[in-house]
Copies of this chain bind each other. A is one copy, B any other.
Amino acid sequence: MFEAIELGRSVEKATFEVEVEQLRADLIEAQRALRGSEVPVIVIVSGVEGAGKSAVVNRFHGWLDTRGLRTATFFEEGEEERERPPYWRFWRSLPPRGTIGMLFGSWYTQPIVERAFERIDEAEFEHRLRRISEFETMLARDGALIVKLWFHLPRDIQTKRLRKQLQEEKEREGKGKKGKGKKGKGKKEKEKKAKKGGKKEKRAEEDDLSATLRDYADNYERFASVSERAIRLSDIGLAPWHLIESTDKRYRDLTAGKILLEALRSRLAEGKVSHTTAPHTPAQTSELSGKTVLDTVPLDYVLDRTDYEVRLKKLRKQIRALSWRAHEEHRSTVVVFEGWDAGGKGGAIRRLTGSMDARLYQVIPVAAPTDEERAQHYLWRFWRYLPPAGAVHIYDRSWYGRVLVERVEGFARPDEWQRAYKEINDFEEQLTEHGIVVVKFWLHISKEEQLRRFEERERVAYKKHKITEEDWRNRERWDDYLAAVNDMVARTSTGCAPWTLVAGNDKLAARIQVLETFAQRLEAGLKR
């Protein structure tokens, strides 16, 4: 594959200058059109070491309007990042709609490096690549333009460049040491660094870097073959790769610029509805020809108050201890509450939070997205609030809004909510793979019980705020919601993140069921 682009192409300085003048004007024009669009542009800057990835990005900083341009670099994962699933840091770096984000290396770097050094096996490598394709497909279907650039160098030229790079590094190191020798005054800042072992750690990292560079050169063939496989596996129609010969800098930069321009132009020419480019097979929706999964919920179950008090007390104590233990063991938990209006979400959440130390949990109320959130894929705002190590995050309504209210009210197009099931399953799989305990509750009540509660809410002063016109409107669409809930449970109740259907007509019974389920799931999670 790579040999096919080792053609020794180059561009004369004079030609370059003429072409660049036009290219700049065109890029700026395209960027302006982009600004008014719904399209986020993700430019992946990848390729072999020494090909000049940083230089290309610098060039783009010169050519483009920097007001709509951000870059993201992925050095070693930081602590906050290690506490979340691996893709958390990529989600954080996604550009908002109407802007361009240049990502160095991105999600490709680790799978390639780890496979080349045989830290992961072939099956794991393919699993990672599949995840990448799913991720990119999801973003592209949501309207993102993904431009993937691979900068290539022939072996001999790479070796030469890396050698030069290593030399420069050594020079820098020499100077760095001299610089350090000069410093004597003990300062707060330095103590801080010393405390976290700053310098030594840094030195080790650098040795590591040099070693890595040498490894890259020594392992040219290995890298070339792993990279080629990575490119082939991820060269999907919605996000194709562009291989760029990088021996000549002018050719490299001009080509990269033209590819971006072309991609922008053709994407923007598609117009606003263009995120339906890919055809989708419609998902099956449940025919309401009989029973739904909610009919299995024993709504007539009633718990008496004495029994409730005894079990509540025991469960509270148990959950208190479990949640502290989870905190100590860095085990995080994500709890999802969905349910009918007046289904008792609030009360159940309060019993749950009341059982834990207030420093261990967060309730994430999901209301209308902010404009920053609207400028991203709908899952973005949920990734945003993933818990740090050892915390419990409780989502009061969740990403399931996509297949519930957005489906029923038509806020999402059929192709959008239909593909959401898979996107959600993938999302939750990433959570559980990372060791996060996922607990999902649907608070079920009968239609009659809902009416009783609505009427009660209109009577009691401190409950009044809970009932709005919207609740009554939703009630009229009960059957549509029933179909949506049935599909949701059928398609997203997975082994690692099963739904618990809570029998909610009796509030006391419902709360105990929630607390008991939570305790069981957390305990099981702690044993993993």
Contact = CB atoms under 8 A, between A and B. Distances in A.
Number of chain copies forming the complex: 2
Interface stretch (A128-136, A174-182, A416-424): A174-182
Contacts of A367: 67
A396 B67 contact: yes
B528 A329 contact: no
A325 B175 contact: yes
A219 to B, nearest CB: 22
B61 A354 contact: yes
A71 B202 CA distance: 35
Nearest to A173: B328
Nearest to A104: B359
A193 B358 contact: no
B179 A324 contact: no
Given A79-B78, A202-B330, A330-B193, A363 B61 contact: yes
A319 B461 CA distance: 66
A198 interface: yes
Interface size bracket, A side: 35 or more
A517 B349 CA distance: 57
A167 interface: no
A73 interface: yes
Interface string A172-195: 100110011011010111001100
Contacts of A497: none
Nearest to A435: B189
Interface stretch (A24-32, A249-257, A296-304): A24-32
B179 A58 contact: no
Interface string A41-58: 000000000000111011
7 contacts: A58-B354, A62-B350, A104-B359, A183-B527, A185-B528, A189-B435, A370-B370
